[in-house]
Amino acid sequence: MTDGRIVIVGASLAGARAAGVLRREGFAGSLTVIGDERQEPYDRPPLSKQVLTGQVAPGHTMLPHLREVDAEWLWGTPAAGLDMAGKQVRLADGREIGFDRVLLATGTRARPWPDEAEAALEGVHTLRTTADAERLRAALAARPGRVLVLGAGFTGSEIASVCRELDLPVTVVERGPAPLVNALGGVIGDVAAALQREHGVDLRCGTTVTALEGDGQGRLRGARLSDGSTVEADVAVVALGSIRNVEWLRDSGLAAGVWGVACDAGCRAVDTNGLVTDDVFVAGDIARFPHPLYDYQFMTLEHWGNAVAQAEIAAHNMVSDQAHRWPHLSVPVFWSTQFGVNIKSVGVPTFADEVVITQGSVAERRFAAVYGYRGRITAAVTFDQGLWLEFYQRLIESAAPFPPEFRHVDQDGDGGPVPARVPERLVATAGATVVVTGHDPAERRASLLHAPQS
């Protein structure tokens, strides 16, 4: 397919990258990119790092080469609905944009603090956009007496790291047993916890914030915690994960829900019946796809690298016929910088039953950890040892046996494999119920019954 109409919903990393790939692949038809933010595509990883410390200005993380693509860019126009039969995207302002093929790449937003009144207190932040980063940077530059971070995932941990770099007192409250557990499991989570405490973070694990408290004049004063204690803080950052921007697809007939939008390995969206669609594609944070390396389990990956790789596959497949489509088989990779340590990951660390330190020393915070599942290597995580990651990626791709048993450099090791302590994985249909109706095969249909929204 080299002409016709393609619409991309979502103008951040995945959407913008896909637009460029479509043109590179020779698509000469009309191309429309719809974005809800009022600005050009930009890079988000620096927003929780160099932008907060002030080393990089919030407006200086643009992705200019992504914008140079020949397309009609509609900024600040959220999509409100998808009509698959009529092949139209409905915008919030009422316009309807017709398509022959559409790519859904609406990404995620920060999960807000559930109590709206508390969330509205001055000093309560979330972090997802450049505007968020600029507000938080200014709040930190005003040197608050203490910063409270809710959640010790990657975003929360990086914010805590920035606070310590700025020499600001910070308290981190985490529901789980340690930071980063949802992504890296309990073994490396314990290392992350020690790292935070060494750098002066007041880390409270197994604890949640029960209430944010104001000073009576609309400003944050502190928080009450589940263990009965209180924390005084002028700034709180709610880093409790993200919400996928899929509400606009609710009545589209796609298998879309809080878990994302289901698709096949070629990024073609799956409808509520489990049928693969021909003209609707998905990429980036919202795409829930089966990964052959991980028992074909459906997974969403909210990583920079996944957005890019998946956008390229989706764009290629949108303009290719059945015989020339590619599967999205890249091994997931992500990184984080916190407390002076560069953390990198390859594979899916939560897809593991055991973990072993292969290179370096946990005590020195420089090591490579390898994850295994039922006797094969499924992931590796490095702390300041990222240059070895390519090697472990090849082991993952070749289903190499776990634990690895070869001689290599820096082989002191901290003992043999130990249980990985990874959390339960998200159930694919969380938040909705699937029911099947009809008797005749031509009439059998599945549909999603959503729980009432709270």
Partner 1 sequence: MTTTSSSAFERILDPSGRADPYPLFGELRRTPVARQPDGTYVVSTYREIVALLHDPRVSSDRRNLGGPDTDPGASGKEDGAISFIGLDPPAHDRLRRLAMRHFGPPHSPGVVDGLRPAMLAITTELIDGIAGKRRADLVDEVAYPLPVAVICRLLGVPQEDEPQFHAWADQIVETLGPGEEDRAERERERLAVARDLERYLGGLAEERRRQPGDDMLSGFVTYRGPEGGMSPEEVVSTAVLLLIAGHETTINLIANGMLTFLRDPGLLDRLRADPGLIVPAVEELLRYEPPVQLVSSRIALDDIVIAGTTIPAGSPIVLALAAGSRDPGHVADPDRFDPCRARNEHLGFGGGVHYCFGAPLARLEAQIVLAELVRRLRGPRLVADPPPYRPSAVLRGPRHLLVDYEGVAPA
Binding residues for partner 1, rule: CB under 8 A, are 358-361, 364, 366, 368, 385, 387-391, 394, 406-410
d(CA 184, CA 195): 15
User: Contact 81/51 with Cβ under 8 angstroms?
Assistant: no
Render 208-231 in DSSP notation, one character per residue: -EEEEEE-SSSBEEEEEETTS-EE
H helices present in 82-222, as ranges: 116-119, 130-141, 154-165, 181-198
Min CB(328)–partner 1 separation in Å: 21
Tokens of 146: 């203490």
Going by their DSSP bridges, the two strands 260-262 and 287-291 should be labelled as: parallel
Residue 394 CB, shortest distance to partner 1, in Å, is 7
- 96 Cβ partners below 8 Å, 6+ apart? 83, 88, 89, 90
Nearer to partner 1, 65 or 95 (CB): 65
Q: What are phi and psi of 310, to 5 degrees?
A: -70, -35
For the CB of residue 342, give the shortest distance to partner 1 in the complex, in Å: 11
| Complex with partner 1: residue 405 or 443, whichever CB lies closer | 405
Q: Residue 350 or 358: which CB sits closer to partner 1?
A: 358
**Cα–Cα distance measured from residue 398 to residue 356, given in angstroms and rounded to the nearest whole number:** 18
Do 240 and 233 meet the contact criterion of CB atoms below 8 Å apart?
no
Q: Smallest distance from the beta carbon of 194 to partner 1, in angstroms?
A: 16
Residue 192 CB, nearest approach to partner 1 (Å): 20
DSSP-assigned beta bridge partners for residue 147:
170, 235
Which of 95, 394 has the CB closer to partner 1?
Answer: 394
Q: How far apart are CA 369 and CA 285, in angstroms?
A: 26
CB of 63 to partner 1, least distance (A): 17
Rounded least distance, CB 366 to partner 1, Å: 7
The least distance separating partner 1 from the CB of residue 134, rounded to whole angstroms, comes to: 24
Q: Residue 7 or 346: which CB sits closer to partner 1?
A: 346
Cβ closer to partner 1: 272 or 359?
A: 359
Beta bridge partners of 190: none
Is 366 exposed, middle or buried, given 0-12, 13-18 or 19+ CB atoms closer than 10 A?
A: middle
Q: Are 392 and 380 in contact (CB under 8 A)?
A: yes
Which one-letter amino acid corresponds to residue 201? V
What span, in angstroms and rounded, lies between the C-alpha atoms of 349 and 330? 15
Question: Is the CB of 344 or the CB of 421 nearer to partner 1?
Answer: 344
* Strands, sheet with 276-282, edge to edge from the N-terminal-most edge strand: 72-74, 30-34, 5-9, 101-104, 276-282, 268-270
Burial class (CB in 10 A: 0-12, 13-18, 19+), 267: buried
Contact present, 62 and 42 (Cβ < 8 Å): yes
Nearer to partner 1, 409 or 449 (CB): 409
- DSSP-assigned beta bridge partners for residue 367: 360, 383
What tokens appear for 314 in the block?
Answer: 């989706």
Q: Which is nearer to partner 1, 197 or 374 (CB)?
A: 197
| Residue 167 or 364 having the CB closest to partner 1 | 364
Residue 370 CB, nearest approach to partner 1 (Å):
11
Min. distance of Cβ 9 from partner 1 in angstroms? 29
